[in-house]
A and B are shown apart, each in its own frame.
Chain A
């Protein structure tokens, strides 16, 4: 049943958010730190475990795949509801600060991507 997959996804999602909140509290921040990341790791671990035990049928997995394929439409909805106008009204400081941060960050990707790659000859650059 597809709902089993969806329920597993929900369980991982909520547990991850909980861990994120706990981590936030632990370092004195009112917020969720890496909740989505924890949820993703949980789902990967749980998915792999249940798959090995053959407790997760193809049909159940389809419930997760459905939501996985919905993120692009959701991102489009998100784009349409962003505060795009503020980005322009913030003036030159905002444009310059945001722009400089973006370019500096992206240009460093190839450099940092080298870390951990040297030890692994079979990954193509």
Chain B
């Protein structure tokens, strides 16, 4: 047992590939035989991953030394690298065509998420502009939240809430996208680019699209990747000043 643990410790990343391979296999089998193909295997695998993450803490399963390789494989380096590789299958013409809609959806997406987040915070009793802005920023993505909060000097409690709001959004986008895709017309590169701008969370958008239709991933990822930057730019500056003016401070 000690020997086995030793091998895994030294070869964490290889062990992670094996684990993910097994998870995919189990999900495909469940999808085919238990759900008769109604729920895609990819969606089941992602849901399973989220479920397993519950067993850990800040880094999900990655908190256990045994699964450190899994955290590395699922970390931003490999994720970004693989997402860039999907561009190989993307059609430049489609992107040019949807370019304008993509840019508009980016601005609209940041504004809508921020407003929804601020409204939620207001409804639950927060009134000071710094907390409101931080929670609104967190509703954009879990990176915009803490970046904005630290810039404005928000309390650590509010920072934690803003990160949590962003994580809730990532997880919801992942789960809900395949369910509502047919209703919102998410079945072509054009709407996938708009979806990337409205969803914003790169991980959520990519995971959600992967479970919906893998061909759409590069289009959604392309816009979503600009979202966090735009949020970090707008929230602590323009949006904060507007909120502060509204609050009369």
Contact = CB atoms under 8 A, between A and B. Distances in A.
Contacts of A97: 116-117, 120-121, 135-136, 138-139, 161, 165, 168
Interface residues of B, number: 120
B140 A84 contact: no
Nearest to B87: A40
Interface string A82-107: 11111101111111111111111111
Contacts of B73: 73-74, 77
B188 A85 contact: no
Interface residues of A, number: 80
Interface of B: 16-17, 19-21, 23-24, 42, 45-50, 52-54, 56-62, 67, 70-71, 73-75, 78-90, 92, 95, 97-101, 104-105, 108-109, 112-117, 119-121, 123-124, 126, 135-136, 138-140, 147, 160-174, 176-177, 180, 184-186, 188, 190-191, 194-195, 197-200, 202-203, 206-207, 210, 214, 217-218, 221-223, 225-226, 228-230, 232-233
Given A67-B81, A106-B195, A113-B190, 20 more contacts: A27-B233, A31-B229, A67-B85, A73-B20, A74-B20, A76-B23, A80-B52, A80-B53, A80-B67, A81-B67, A81-B71, A84-B54, A86-B164, A90-B164, A99-B172, A102-B168, A102-B199, A109-B185, A113-B194, A115-B104
